[in-house]
Amino acid sequence: MNEILGSRIKALRNAKNFTQEQVAEKIGVSRQKYARIESGVNSITLDILSKVAEVFDVTVGDITKVLDETPAVAYRAGEKSGSAKEIFDMLDLFYANKRMCARLQHKTII
């Protein structure tokens, strides 16, 4: 899952002709940490994901939609994955999204 998000983020960065260093500076992380996010080594927090979306002028949903598309294709191809780690990663992302959504809704209400 981290690799899928990382690839999507890298594609968005390349489309904007930004360097890793430029994006890292804009979101407030080191270039090394940003590079590990793009390569899928590091997990991405929802906070950083929302900052990345802002830098690329897209929504968080535009970035994470690749997560919805990939399993459907893999399932149709007969691929059987679904390790416990992948399931826990998906649950972590779900709850992170849920918390961020609640925070964003709270900000717009005030």
Domain extent for 98: 2-109
Q: Band of the pLDDT at 110, cuts 50, 70, 90?
A: very low
- Domain total in the chain: 1
CATH code, 101: 1.10.260.40
- Structure-token match 């983020």, residue found: 9
Choice between 2 and 6, residue whose per-residue pLDDT is larger: 6
Decide: 13 and 38 in contact? Cβ < 8 Å: yes
Across 77-105, average pLDDT: 73
**Cα 25 to Cα 52: distance, rounded to the nearest angstrom:** 11
pLDDT in tens, 28-86: 999 999 999 999 898 888 899 999 999 999 988 888 887 776 454 444 444 555 567 77
